[in-house]
Chains A and B, each alone.
Chain A
Amino acid sequence: MNESALSPAGSENAAGTLLEARHIVKIFGELRANDDVTLKLKPGEIHALLGENGAGKSTLVKIIYGSLQPTSGELYWKGEPVTVANPAAARDLGIGMVFQHFSLFDALTVTENIALALPPGLDMADLAARIQTVSADYGLPLRPDALVADLSVGERQRIEIVRCLLQEPRLLIMDEPTAVLTPQEADQLFVTLGRLAREGCGVLYISHRLEEVKRICHDATILRHGKLVARVDPQQETAASLANLMVGSEVAAVKTAKGRAPGEPLLELVNFSMATDDPFGMSLKNINLTVRAGEIVAVAGVAGNGQGELFAAISGESVTADVSAVRLSGEACGGENITMRRRRNAAFVPEERIGHGAVPNFTLSENVVLTHHAIGEGVVRNGLINRLAAHAVNAKITEMFDVRKGTPDPEARALSGGNLQKFVVGREVVLQPKILVVNQPTWGVDAGAAAIIRQALIDLVRGGSAVLVISQDLDEIFEIADRIAVISRGELSEADPAEDMSLERIGLLMAGAHEKANQVGETATTA
């Protein structure tokens, strides 16, 4: 990576600001999502917008992109006051946006997806040719006639970027672009962004990953609880000082529990294979994995490579004919459902906290019953729910995990993402399971909540449990895991000790380096 390529190109014409947002206020009901926020961005500048979940970053960029209207405050574009009535108006100004949750249509082709964002009257064949040229030019290879459903997450992001590039944007907004990329794909993205900045395009870059902000951004605006807290030069800050500005207090460092001798195997997958009948799913191929008492094993990988299927296979959401392929505490249980596996003192936390992990319009204590009904401290007796016991469990989770909420037992949907995640992880941890499987334990959660959750996993392992973490967050994996395996296209690499793994090696494994030799060719799409 050529660092010098990323010096701010716009610094010589300090007079010209590209975009200025002055005193933006946005009120949703009681909540002041943006409270007097001001942001200035020059052409050719990569400007970081930092803040925890719920700090108001997304609200601010939606206002800039015209998806939301501010309650008060003004936007200036190249020094002129403007009203951005809708995204089409933003695009007319030259503002492009790459969404965190892509705005793509699975059932349409790459060309069709891009055509939808461009003005009408295009010839589709012409457009396909332009897509090919622009994508090759910027090092973002795309097949115009591919169906989005068949593409990896990294490729989908390329569609979003190419879609913006075709509109020759003056400002590109990127919402957490690297959250879904392998390290190598992220490097490629930084090269593209650097090139755009040198061509004079401004970039507004939202990220949680402070190291990369330090690496590529020229300026940073930090929000907390909807308010502007600082505007800093990220080159002059450390990742820790940026984190402290975001959170407003020191983030507790997680105390690791590494260096213990692991005990007997508690969770085993032996030559496990499972074909999917979902055309957009991923089949699991010949997976071998052992998690021992007293260790955390992490499965890294880019989303959509079989993590959901792997979790379903271990938790019992999918059962197999080959019962001995899944073993909990040494006993074959591939044919058992999730409740039977819970009775074996295993616990499972799925990826989606709302909908899958918790029922949004159930109260927290009712959500406790959903996973504790067959086990635990008698929340169900003689077929009847013991509400007192459920409330007691809820209170215990609240205390252990510092779950913040308005009333003692609100509906699950009333909690913020981080607090609900603490609740769904806490609900299983209070059972002190011998085996815990967590899919994306801290996805989209702020630093404070993430630290609490990670510490809880480590404490559980200290007590002799086996923990399997499936995560896309490599920083998290290196922080807590004893051994790391990588999943790619439904195949799992050998779980190696964390100290033997490097980011580069994981990146190669994510791109399929461990898959059978004859398959490597077709997976080399990260380019």
Chain B
Amino acid sequence: MGALEAVILTIITASTPLLLAAIGELVTERSGVLNLGVEGMMIMGAVCGFAIAYTTGSPLLGVGAGLLGGVGMSLLFAFLTQTLMTSQVATGLSLTLLGLGLSGLIGESFTGLPGIKLNAIDIPFLTDIPFIGPILFGQDILVYFSFALVAIVTYVLFRTRTGLIINAVGGNHHSAHALGYDVVKVRYACIAFGGACSGLAGAYLSLAYTPQWIENMSSGRGWIALALVVFSSWLPRRVLIGAYLFGTVWIMGLYVQAMGVAIPAQLLSSLPYLVTIVALVMISGNKTLTRINTPACIGQPFAPER
């Protein structure tokens, strides 16, 4: 395996969880809800995924459990913010703290146990092609799914009625309500979708990225995903660019460090943030496009008149 091939494979594994979590949060935010609990949902996905995969021996069941772990957390958030009308910011922050604590508790007995790795899909012949094979055809199911998700979300948001309704609810919830749409129901669904994606991102961490359970193993990726959504002007294709740009710079930094180049480690570890922000700010120069894609109702609670 060549060095370049190895680098590209690591970049893919580093970027996938960011992409999954960010695309889910993008849908949540498009419906007008700001869920700052991505980190908490992700870490719950990681611990649930690992626990079920370890107990049953099936990594795929683990992936399913991770998804459900994220959904469970997101439904708690949805109930609090949509039904009980709590502040989205405060609830999201609490969700992150709750997730970090709860996952530590659940994961205590799993710490240090050997992990079960989500295997790469092996396609005969294609995977054997040198260089291209392992990169294009040797990935696990979540990597393929993350790309499919970008395409699906783009299609649904911009080409279907479902997407139109999501954008309408996020753009002006009073108008959407006046036209007879159930704003709260739409938001519940979008929050749950975001939770599912964050849960998958977490499962990817504990089943594919480093197949074991380590407390706090999401280490801030949820926050990066949140930032990517905003800097991408809520456009799925830009989330894809942003996630991979971040992953690339991050991994390159590690390699540069490993090669012993005399750059302060702190600078290298801050570089991905800097590069991603600068790049995404540069591509979001079109103000009208940004304005049109910004969900106008983001973070605002909605209570229909009775």
Binding partners A and B: yes
Contact yes or no, A87 B179, CB < 8 A: yes
- Which of B168, B180, B296, B305 counts the most A-chain CB atoms under 10 A from its CB? B180
A147 to B296, alpha carbons, bound, how many Å?
15
Contact yes or no, A112 B164, CB < 8 A: yes
Chain A residues whose CB sits within 8 angstroms of the CB of B176 once the complex forms = 103, 105, 116
A9 to B164, alpha carbons, bound, how many Å?
39
Partner among A103, A106, A107 whose Cβ is within 8 Å of the Cβ of B178:
A103
> Given A103-B174, A279-B288: A108 and B179 within 8 A (CB)?
no
Chain A residues whose CB sits within 8 angstroms of the CB of B288 once the complex forms = 279
Chain B residues whose CB sits within 8 angstroms of the CB of A91 once the complex forms = 180
> Given A105-B167, A105-B171: A279 and B178 within 8 A (CB)?
no
> Given A87-B180, A116-B165: A67 and B172 within 8 A (CB)?
no
Contact yes or no, A99 B178, CB < 8 A: yes
A101 to B305, alpha carbons, bound, how many Å?
16
Contact yes or no, B179 A103, CB < 8 A: yes
> Given A87-B179, A103-B174: A147 and B292 within 8 A (CB)?
yes
Contact yes or no, B164 A116, CB < 8 A: yes
Q: Is B175 an interface residue (CB 8 A)?
A: yes
Chain A residues whose CB sits within 8 angstroms of the CB of B154 once the complex forms = none
- The minimal Cβ–Cβ distance linking A280 to chain B, given in whole angstroms, is 7
Interface residues in A79-109 (C-beta closer than 8 Å to B): 86-88, 91, 99, 101-108
> Given A107-B293, A279-B287: A115 and B175 within 8 A (CB)?
no
A108 to B170, alpha carbons, bound, how many Å?
11
Chain B residues whose CB sits within 8 angstroms of the CB of A102 once the complex forms = 175
Binary CB contact string for chain A from 105 to 140 against chain B (1 if under 8 A, 0 otherwise): 111100010011100100000000000000000000
A91 to B179, alpha carbons, bound, how many Å?
10
Contact yes or no, B305 A88, CB < 8 A: no
A277 to B172, alpha carbons, bound, how many Å?
23
> Given A107-B296, A279-B288: A116 and B168 within 8 A (CB)?
yes
Chain A residues whose CB sits within 8 angstroms of the CB of B292 once the complex forms = 106-107, 147, 149
Q: Is A68 an interface residue (CB 8 A)?
A: yes
- The minimal Cβ–Cβ distance linking A158 to chain B, given in whole angstroms, is 16
Number of interface residues of B (CB under 8 A): 23
Nearest-CB residue, chain A, relative to B295: A107
Contact yes or no, B168 A105, CB < 8 A: yes
Partner among B164, B165, B171, B178 whose Cβ is within 8 Å of the Cβ of A87:
B178
Contact yes or no, B175 A104, CB < 8 A: yes
A106 to B171, alpha carbons, bound, how many Å?
8
Contact yes or no, A108 B287, CB < 8 A: no
Contact yes or no, A107 B167, CB < 8 A: yes
- The minimal Cβ–Cβ distance linking B50 to chain A, given in whole angstroms, is 41
Chain B residues whose CB sits within 8 angstroms of the CB of A115 once the complex forms = 161, 164
A91 to B180, alpha carbons, bound, how many Å?
10
Contact yes or no, A116 B179, CB < 8 A: yes
A104 to B165, alpha carbons, bound, how many Å?
12
Chain B residues whose CB sits within 8 angstroms of the CB of A67 once the complex forms = 178, 305
A120 to B163, alpha carbons, bound, how many Å?
12
A99 to B178, alpha carbons, bound, how many Å?
9
Chain A residues whose CB sits within 8 angstroms of the CB of B167 once the complex forms = 105, 107-108
- The minimal Cβ–Cβ distance linking B226 to chain A, given in whole angstroms, is 21
Contact yes or no, A103 B171, CB < 8 A: no
- The minimal Cβ–Cβ distance linking A275 to chain B, given in whole angstroms, is 13
Contact yes or no, A106 B161, CB < 8 A: no
A77 to B180, alpha carbons, bound, how many Å?
20
Nearest-CB residue, chain A, relative to B290: A279
A410 to B167, alpha carbons, bound, how many Å?
39
Binary CB contact string for chain B from 82 to 114 against chain A (1 if under 8 A, 0 otherwise): 000000000000000000000000000000000
Binary CB contact string for chain B from 22 to 65 against chain A (1 if under 8 A, 0 otherwise): 00000000000000000000000000000000000000000000
A115 to B164, alpha carbons, bound, how many Å?
9
> Given A87-B178, A87-B179, A99-B178: A106 and B168 within 8 A (CB)?
no
A312 to B284, alpha carbons, bound, how many Å?
28
A87 to B180, alpha carbons, bound, how many Å?
5
Chain A residues whose CB sits within 8 angstroms of the CB of B306 once the complex forms = 68-69
Contact yes or no, B305 A105, CB < 8 A: no
> Given A115-B161, A149-B292: A88 and B172 within 8 A (CB)?
no
A residues neighboring B (CB under 8 Å): 62, 67-69, 86-88, 91, 99, 101-108, 112, 115-117, 120, 147, 149, 277, 279-280
Query: 8 tightest A-B contacts by CB?
Result: A103-B175, A88-B180, A87-B180, A103-B178, A107-B292, A279-B288, A105-B171, A279-B287
A-B contacts, 23 of them at CB < 8 A, read A67-B178, A67-B305, A69-B306, A87-B180, A91-B180, A101-B174, A103-B175, A103-B178, A103-B179, A104-B175, A105-B175, A105-B176, A106-B171, A107-B167, A107-B293, A115-B161, A115-B164, A116-B164, A116-B168, A117-B179, A120-B161, A279-B288, A280-B291
Given contacts A62-B305, A107-B171, A120-B161, 12 further A-B contacts (CB under 8 A): A67-B178, A68-B305, A87-B179, A103-B176, A103-B179, A107-B294, A107-B296, A108-B167, A115-B161, A149-B291, A279-B288, A279-B291
